[in-house]
């Protein structure tokens, strides 16, 4: 019986008399082969030759059940936006409007919620600015500093015209106050970050966008009677502003407060249009509310109606206006002992200018007074009386609250 040595098929057949020698040779070959494997495999491993045996998975951090190896790498995600939010985020709080459910109820229930911004800490008190409509009708007000801490708030003052209100809270839990920025320097396209309390319970929500328009004028009906009372100068942004964000902060990339979020156009076809009250306009209102509980504004002492609201028939027949005068403010009444009364203004006088600035309607008259004049200032009115152009000087008094 013969055998093959490797792949060589041309070896001669061994004789039967050599069977013993073949057995010994085979035995020695097996022993030598075993010894060769024993000493050679570790040496091959040292030279990078991997035996065909599945190795155990290398133990590293992050090894899961599937054998996926992840490195323990710490990534720094700090950027300008996170830094801005870190600077201002804790100054933004929730504002809870509590009202009685009915006249006979003893307890107050949550009637609504919005946002507010802590802008000042002084001794044992801190001050919060929010929207007037957030706290309107409240029997009690609470401030939510975080998910675990609520404190009672005292209403200091409100201004429906500008939709602002100031509240006062204990300062012991207040750690951060907002820094006012300069809203007059805002540019279209620069980053804008809104922080607030959307839906009344998602405290500290941050949304990012841009300044869409820093000087948008928006008509406002403050008394909800269907007549526009005021053209509010607002910042338009596409940062997401949802119900509950009212009264919250609009900050710039430096974390400075540049606006108080006030409203959003809520239509199904409209997306990314929100508005904020510029902080440069809000600041003097906030100061007055904090100091006096109201906004002290100058007034002339008249009841008015825009000429555009008067039928054109009366322009020439009743008011006797020249044909080239198609704008102005009609004096409908003069308050007794007022500045207007003392200066001799009369009913049906038509005001067309103030200090040489054209006044087209009642909104422009009010805006000129509130933004360009102070209590005690003098103003020169250009009027038409019975078709004759005249000028009247008067000294502005403090507006009397109705």
* Residues acting as catalytic residues: 133, 163, 246
DSSP label of 271: -
Contact 349, 385 (CB under 8 A): yes
Q: Which helix (H) or strand (E) holds 30?
A: helix 19-46
Q: Both tokens of residue 314?
A: 């009366």
Contact 123, 179 (CB under 8 A): no
Report residue 58 as tokens: 């290398």
Whole-angstrom Cα distance, residue 366 to residue 350? 15
Please tell me the number of Cα atoms within 13 Å of 346 on its side-chain side: 7
* Distance between CA atoms of residues 196 and 113, nearest Å: 11
Q: Is 312 left (phi over 0), alpha (psi -120 to 50) or beta?
A: alpha
Q: Which of 112, 87, 128, 153 is nearest to 247 (CA)?
A: 128
Name the residue among 142, 136, 164, 235 with its Cα closest to residue 193: 235
Q: Which of 362, 377, 369 is nearest to 331 (CA)?
A: 362
């Amino acid at each position: 019986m013969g055998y093959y040595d490797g792949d060589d098929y041309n070896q001669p057949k061994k004789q039967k008399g050599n069977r013993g020698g073949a057995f010994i040779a085979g035995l020695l070959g097996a022993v030598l082969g075993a010894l060769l494997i024993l000493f050679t495999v570790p040496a091959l491993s040292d030279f990078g030759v991997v035996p065909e045996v599945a190795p155990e998975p290398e133990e590293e951090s992050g090894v899961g059940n599937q054998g996926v190896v992840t490195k323990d790498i710490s990534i720094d995600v700090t950027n300008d936006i996170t830094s801005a939010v870190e600077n201002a985020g804790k100054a933004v709080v929730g504002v809870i409007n509590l009202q009685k459910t009915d006249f006979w109820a003893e307890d107050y229930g949550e009637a609504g919620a919005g946002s507010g911004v802590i802008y000042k800490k002084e001794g044992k008190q801190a001050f919060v600015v929010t929207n007037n409509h957030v706290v309107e009708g409240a029997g009690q007000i609470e401030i939510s500093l975080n998910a675990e801490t609520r404190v009672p708030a005292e209403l200091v003052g409100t201004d429906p015209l500008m939709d602002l209100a100031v509240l006062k809270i204990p300062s012991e839990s207040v750690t951060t106050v907002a820094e006012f920025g300069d809203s007059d320097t805002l540019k279209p396209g620069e980053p804008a970050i809104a922080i607030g309390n959307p839906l009344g319970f998602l405290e500290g929500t941050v949304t990012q966008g841009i300044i869409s328009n820093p000087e948008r004028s928006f008509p406002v009906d403050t008394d909800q009677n269907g007549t526009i009372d005021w053209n509010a100068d607002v910042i338009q942004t596409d940062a997401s502003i949802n119900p509950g964000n009212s009264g919250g902060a609009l900050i710039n990339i430096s974390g400075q407060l540049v606006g108080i979020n006030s409203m959003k156009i809520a239509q199904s076809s409209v997306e990314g249009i929100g508005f904020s009250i510029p902080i440069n306009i809000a600041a003097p209102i906030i100061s007055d509310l904090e100091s006096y509980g109201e906004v002290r504004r100058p007034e002339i002492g008249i009841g008015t109606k825009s000429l555009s609201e008067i039928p054109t028939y009366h322009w020439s027949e009743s008011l006797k206006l020249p044909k080239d005068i198609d704008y102005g403010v009609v004096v409908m009444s003069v308050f007794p002992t007022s500045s207007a009364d003392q200066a001799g203004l009369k009913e049906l006088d038509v005001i067309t200018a103030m200090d040489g600035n054209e006044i087209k309607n009642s909104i422009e008259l009010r805006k000129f007074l509130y933004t360009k004049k102070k209590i005690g200032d003098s103003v020169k009115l250009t009027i038409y009386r019975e078709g004759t152009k005249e000028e009247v000087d008067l000294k502005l008094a403090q507006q009397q609250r109705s």
